[in-house]
A and B are shown apart, each in its own frame.
Chain A
């Protein structure tokens, strides 16, 4: 197409959400009084004006096909008021102003195969990334891992039985797009990249790749008479940072790309300051289609948390109280030399005290 026939974009940016907001929410914007949790998956917010808005939250397969999306909108038209939103964890929320609509709406969602829940002290929908379906650097799949795990945790999604909410995340590489979580299941590579030397010179901007390495393990080299890169394998921490700028440095390995499990990430300021998640298990097989080994460890951790934590304690609060040695004891997970951090700032994670629980 000739340039002059191309349509110029309208740079409208982020749209105004008020046009899509339930009229009761528009009317009472900034004027809410309190909220309650009438049952799992349902929130009731009451405004200072006395107006009510009822929210029904449902989990979906996240990667929606047109049929599932249209089913969700059809339910919204027939049983709700036609106003929805999506949460940060990709649940859909229907807002209705009349509480009598809640039960028929829940029934319609449940009959259509969606799962009402995910509120308060439940296991929330697992946040996830693209994986083998669409990412260019994934060590595993995302939607499949989450589907397999949510099949196991569905009863905890639809109830309020955990000490506090549990946010689980998954990530298909160490960049960790899934984010911090009470429990995070992330790919962990265990071998240095395999380099296709014949391709590096043409595909990769070599100084960029050298600069990308966090431990300065990559240097330019001539291999078989061609410009390439070589990796000091003793220094290499197998993080995969060189792979996105240089795909011939293949880090993903069907056998040696494993999963690691991290716990205690919490972005809320409630009680303690926000925390990052910490390593608890590694070497977990990346085992499609249902990743049973990873699920088993997550279940072990959740069982210990459910048993031992007090009400309102998130996983990091619980471990703060009982201590890490006890965490490894009650979960049955091994404590290894790899749990002791050696990255910059690691000294702050050592126990510089005689505070020891016996």
Chain B
């Protein structure tokens, strides 16, 4: 039977212009690939996509597809217009977890491409917004075959649905001098402790881990994850005064005043008469701006660790929420440090599982019950770094004031004793 080629006048418009065209790529699979199954699947997909462009509507519906032993990890898609475009009537996506920061050898990419060529449409995205490799377009049957093949050489499905999701990390210590953490280890310790919760959706709603090595937060963890881990340091930032002088000599004093010192949110950095810089480190909030501008002269201190923020998410249902501080600073050096990190995550997920409403994210749960109830639930002490301002409203019962004040002084004494 001759291949059916659907007219795609609107999609053809997307072959014009200098940016690489996904439509041209689709057409090569339709027209040039030796496997008729791929030609037909992608040809049919192009037909349905053109139909969407013409009618301004989507035509995919969900369903239930997974692989043997798992309850999630697949995004099932069945066409609502399968009569018109039958060869892509089942077009599921497999979500596959990449390594932290998305490293690959070209050999491994080729191996994945070869497996996908056998069972899928030939379309892949690195990566979806949750952080998974998206193998886009296969049938229910081939979902299992493809997974079986790549699972044998080290790849596992990610999360989909109300479960612990695939995590993400920035490039981090592997390449960046601003990294204050081992993002790699943090991500794998966290997400791989909860593999069962990734593969078998049983939580009130999704739960995401994201890791950034410094407060630039290149991974956007504060806005996009329930459990955000961001590297920071607590001793003095490092200043190479020779490099500062070189920078001033090259750019001029005015440039440093305009672009470094005057941009400091706490006015804690000063350009001296001798073209060196001084920093009041106790007032520095580790915003990263001056380090970003003067990459050779300024760098993070040695006493590194992480800040943990809980509850970030986007709009639905109560509005956007940033993650907020729950652990202001935590060292992550020893095996015990990592154990306690994973323990904290476990306590939070348990509390979330027991207390969140259906389809409620951690941030929404905390908004509903109050931060203090959440902290007491997971056994974390209050800390002034958790708020940007103390209480404004006087409408509160404070019967336990004396005991709470005692606890504060006891904790202070404990810290002072080391």
Contact = CB atoms under 8 A, between A and B. Distances in A.
Given A9-B147, A63-B22, A274-B217, A267 B222 contact: yes
B125 A90 contact: yes
B57 A254 contact: yes
A289 B8 CA distance: 11
Given A34-B177, A88-B219, A135-B60, A61 B20 contact: yes
A7 B68 contact: yes
B59 to A, nearest CB: 8
A169 to B, nearest CB: 9
Contacts of B401: none
Interface stretch (A99-107, A141-149, A299-307, A328-336): A141-149
Contact of B58 (A55, A77, A138): A138
A288 B10 contact: yes
A115 B175 contact: no
A225 interface: no
Contact of A247 (B61, B108, B292, B295): B61
B123 A63 contact: yes
Given A9-B151, A21-B174, A276-B320, A64 B105 contact: no
A286 B53 CA distance: 10
Contacts of A61: 19-22, 25
A85 B287 contact: no
Contacts of A147: 14, 17, 19, 21-23
Given A84-B109, A154-B18, A289-B13, A134 B179 contact: no
A289 B109 contact: no
Interface in A23-80: 25-26, 29-30, 32-36, 45, 53, 55, 59-70, 72-74, 76-77
A252 interface: yes
B79 to A, nearest CB: 11
B319 to A, nearest CB: 5
A263 to B, nearest CB: 14
A290 B14 contact: yes
Contact of B263 (A25, A178, A271): A271
B287 A269 contact: yes
B18 A14 contact: no
B258 to A, nearest CB: 7
Contact of A10 (B23, B97, B156, B188): B156
B18 A274 contact: no
B11 interface: yes
A25 B173 CA distance: 9
A30 B173 contact: yes
A343 interface: yes
A175 B174 contact: no
Contact of B100 (A10, A14, A154, A252): A14
Interface in B253-308: 258-259, 263, 265, 285-289, 292-293, 295-296, 299
Interface string A7-18: 111111111111
Interface string A100-128: 00000000000001110000000000010
B101 interface: yes
A12 B124 CA distance: 21
A253 B339 CA distance: 50
Interface stretch (A207-215, A226-234, A350-358): A207-215
B385 interface: no
Given A7-B148, A65-B123, A178-B129, A73 B106 contact: yes
3 shortest interchain CB distances as A-B pairs: A17-B99, A151-B17, A65-B25
Given A14-B99, A14-B166, A311-B259, 14 more contacts: A9-B157, A10-B152, A17-B103, A20-B105, A65-B25, A66-B117, A69-B109, A73-B109, A92-B126, A140-B56, A179-B223, A180-B320, A269-B286, A276-B320
7 contacts: A9-B157, A14-B98, A61-B20, A64-B124, A64-B125, A134-B77, A269-B222
